[in-house]
Structure 1
Amino acid sequence: MSRAALLVLADGRFPAGGHAHSGGAEPAVTAGRVRDVASLAEFCRGRLHTSGLVAAGLAAAAAAGIDPLLLDEAADARMPAPALRQSARRLGRQMLRAARATWPSAELDALAAARPRGAHQPVVLGLTGRSAGLTPLDVAYAAAYESVSGPATATVRLLRLDPFDAITILARLAADIDHVAAQAADAAQRVHADGLDALPADSAPLLDITAEQHATRPARLFAS
């Protein structure tokens, strides 16, 4: 296992396409729910403990060796909004391209063949971590951190926030990220005994609704 691989995977410069997505921050800014540092902090905390936890659980399960095709179906069941499914698969397809070039493996090749239009990004993230020799907890950290770093970075552009404020939000969420990553990794280990229902299924209905609205906007900065 190389922890340096985790740094590469979690680096915002890893060419996985995340720079084009705001994680729901753009529609939240448009609606006025995110308007300053305090409201961005609350948005990120809420996202971390709902969709972030779900993504971390799926990623950890993939890293633990659970069938990625079954996990892809489980991701569908946990993502009712078609716009979010489309974004997750688009991101998964891009990440899979980068992962196969960086950490080639038969498992990544098999997933690419089975899901030519893209698997859900958290599933790809977990399988990528597995191919890189990372643990389920490692990839749970990567997924949890990504769930808040994307919106925080996007909002710097959307509201012209001070980047120091955005990074401060992420630093202050460290304990929450620790908790979510541990919870997700524990759930992934229980899948072997309890099935896929052991994985988190926390919902964020407002993110689902605004994702559908955002998808129909003629002018937008981010794809999601």
Structure 2
Amino acid sequence: MPSGGRTSSRSALLVLADGRFPAGGHAHSGGAEAAVKAGRIRDAGTLREFCRGRLHTVGLTAAGLAAAAASGLDPLVLDAAADARTPSPALRAVGRRLGRQLMRAARATWPSPELDALARALPKGAHQPVVLGLAARAAGLAPGDAAHCAAYETVSGPATAVVRLLSLDPFDATAVLAGLAADMDAVADRGVWAAQEAGHLGVDALPAASAPLLDISAEQHASWPVRLFAS
């Protein structure tokens, strides 16, 4: 049950998933900037394939972590699990930076002793999916809501970034997101199932899907002297 015994709020879910929620995601492309430069994203079709691949790898991992945190599993244990599932030093730094920014926004919006405790324990930032799950819990949301938020953020960031990077028609970018709706639902459902398993078997039951090309590209992107996005 969410902390405080509150019931799930669809309105709170909309606030948390809103791209205007001040959690810092607008400054990150989710690997899209490097993919555009490498020619792997050229148009709406290649953006769709990039997002689908990202969703079923790092998105699945994030959905499981977020659902587990929203379920009440130990966030410090989950943060260590997130670290182990992020081989790229650049992406580990990004994950904690985004987690720190989300933590500030979440604590201001949904004050919670659990968020306060995690902020004290990890003042430099916990991984973003773990903070997302705790924020959802503080907002009275269910683990499935947290998983859906994680899945959506995995693809909405790159889609929004490519509008700027390629001057892609925003209608086409939105159509890409709409076309991935079934994939997002499936990834969120798998994340929730994995979180339930982790409650019985430990964090090793959580997804550990990887995308080596995203890790390599993130390291290269971090070394660029000039870039539009932080990651």
Report the TM range for the smaller structure's normalisation. over 0.9
Q: Of residues 172, 176, 190 in structure 1, which corresponds to 2:183?
A: 176
1:75, CA displacement in angstroms?
0.2
Provide the C-alpha distance between the structure 2 equivalents of 1:199 and 1:134, rounded to a whole number of angstroms. 20
Matched AA of 1:55: A
The alpha-carbon deviation at position 193 of structure 1 amounts to 1.1
Task: Map residues 152-171 of structure 1 onto 2, 5 A cutoff.
Answer: 152-171=159-178
Cα deviation for residue 141 of structure 1 reads 0.3
Match of 2:75 in 1: 68
The Cα of 1:87 is off from its aligned counterpart by: 0.4
Equivalent pairs counted in the alignment come to 224
- Structure 1 ranges of 4+ moved more than 2 A: none
Displacement after TM superposition at 1:2 (Å): 1.1
Structure 1 counterpart of 2:34: 27
Structural mapping, 1:1-224, within 5 Å: 1-224=8-231
TM-score by length of structure 1 reads 0.99
Cα distance in 1 for partners of 2:131, 2:199 equals 19
> 1:129-165 CA distances to partner (integer Å, 9 max, x unpaired)?
0000100000100000000000000000000000000
Q: Distance in 1 between matches of 2:141 and 2:197?
A: 18
- Secondary structure of the corresponding residue to residue 119 of structure 1: coil
- What is the alpha-carbon root mean square deviation over aligned residues? 0.4
- In the alignment, structure 2 segments of 5+ residues that lack a partner are 1-7
C-alpha separation in 1, matches of 2:74 and 2:169: 42
Cα offsets for 1:169-213 (capped at 9, x unmatched): 000000000100000001001111111111000000000000000
CA distance in 2, matches of 1:167, 1:194: 38
Percent identity over the alignment is 74
